Amino acid sequence: MNTSLYISSGALQAYQQKIDTSANNIANVNTPGFKRKDQSFSEILASQLNNQGRTDQEVGRLTPDGLRVGYGTRTGLTQLVMEQGQAISTGNPFDLMIQGKGFFQVGYPSSTVGGADEVRYSRDGNFHLSPNPTKQGSYHLVNANGGYLLDQNGKPIELDGQYEVSIDGNGQMNLRSKDGSGTPFISAQQVGIVDIQNPHVLKNMGGNEFSIDSTVLPTGANASDYVKMMQPADVQIASGFLEGSNVELTKEMTDLMTTQRGFQMNARAVSYADQMIGIANGILK
Amino acid sequence: MLRGLYSAASGMFSLERRQETLSNNLANAQTPGFKKDDTVMRAFPKLLVERIRDYNETIPGANGLTIPGQGVPVGELANGVYAQERIPSFLQGALVQTDQPLDIAIDDQNIPLQVVNGRTVKPTAFFAVELPDGSVGYTRNGKWDLDSNGNLVTSDGYKILGADHKPIQVTSGVSKDDLYIDADGQLIANPNDAANARQVGKIGMVVVQNPYDLTRQGGNVYKSENPLPFIQDAGGTNPGVTLHQGYVEQSNVDPGQTMADMMMTVRAYEANQKVVSVYNQSLEQLYSVGKING
Q: What is the pLDDT of residue A21?
A: 93
**Percent over 90 (pLDDT), chain B:** 31
State chain B's mean pLDDT as an integer. Answer: 84
Interface contact A11, partner B, CB < 8 A: yes
Q: What is the pLDDT of residue A149?
A: 86
**Which residues between 149 and 178 in chain A have a beta carbon less than 8 angstroms from any beta carbon of chain B?**
none
Q: What is the pLDDT of residue B270?
A: 94
Interface contact B86, partner A, CB < 8 A: yes
Say yes or no to pLDDT of B75 above 80. Answer: no
Q: What is the pLDDT of residue B45?
A: 66
Rounded to the nearest angstrom, the gap between the alpha carbon of residue A104 and the centroid of all alpha carbons in its chain is 14
Q: What is the pLDDT of residue B252?
A: 93
State chain B's maximal CA–CA distance in angstroms: 104
Say yes or no to pLDDT of B55 above 70. Answer: no
Q: Are B28 and A283 in contact (CB < 8 Å)?
A: no
Q: What is the pLDDT of residue A194?
A: 87
Say yes or no to pLDDT of B294 above 60. Answer: no
Cβ neighbours of B2 (radius 10 Å): 13
Q: Are B155 and A77 in contact (CB < 8 Å)?
A: yes
Q: What is the pLDDT of residue B172?
A: 65
Q: How far is CA B122 from CA A138, B90, B125, B130, in A?
A: 73, 8, 10, 25
Q: What would the pLDDT profile of B107-166 be if each residue is shown by its tens digit?
A: 988 888 888 878 888 899 999 999 999 899 999 999 998 887 888 999 888 999 998 888
Q: What is the pLDDT of residue B34?
A: 92
Q: What would the pLDDT profile of A5-52 be if each residue is shown by its tens digit?
A: 999 999 999 999 999 999 999 999 988 889 898 899 999 887 777 766
Q: What is the mean pLDDT of residues B3-31?
A: 89
Contacts B84 to A, Cβ<8 Å: 52, 58, 61, 67
Q: What is the pLDDT of residue B67?
A: 63
Rounded to the nearest angstrom, the gap between the alpha carbon of residue B83 and the centroid of all alpha carbons in its chain is 13
Interface contact A113, partner B, CB < 8 A: no
Q: What is the mean pLDDT of residues A109-120?
A: 70
* CA nearest neighbour of B26 among A16, A268, A22: A268
Say yes or no to pLDDT of A172 above 60. Answer: yes
Say yes or no to pLDDT of A217 above 70. Answer: yes
pLDDT-derived band at B62 (thresholds 50, 70, 90) equals: low
Q: What is the pLDDT of residue B257?
A: 93
State chain A's mean pLDDT as an integer. Answer: 85
Asked if B269 contacts A279 with a C-beta cutoff of 8 angstroms, the reply is yes
Interface contact A223, partner B, CB < 8 A: no
pLDDT greater at residue B97 or residue B173: B97
Interface contact A278, partner B, CB < 8 A: no
Q: What is the mean pLDDT of residues A99-108?
A: 87
Say yes or no to pLDDT of A115 above 70. Answer: no
Q: What is the mean pLDDT of residues A257-266?
A: 94
Q: What is the pLDDT of residue A101?
A: 84
pLDDT-derived band at A94 (thresholds 50, 70, 90) equals: confident
Q: What would the pLDDT profile of B254-269 be if each residue is shown by its tens digit?
A: 999 999 999 999 999 9
Q: Best interface-test mutation with B: which of A1, A2, A3, A4 has the largest number of B CBs within 10 A?
A: A4
The C-alpha torsion from A204 through A209 and A215 to A219, rounded to 10°, is 130
Asked if B93 contacts B251 with a C-beta cutoff of 8 angstroms, the reply is yes
Would you give the end-to-end CA distance of chain A in angstroms? 20
DSSP string spanning A220-245? Answer: T--GGGGEEEPPGGG--EEETEEEPP
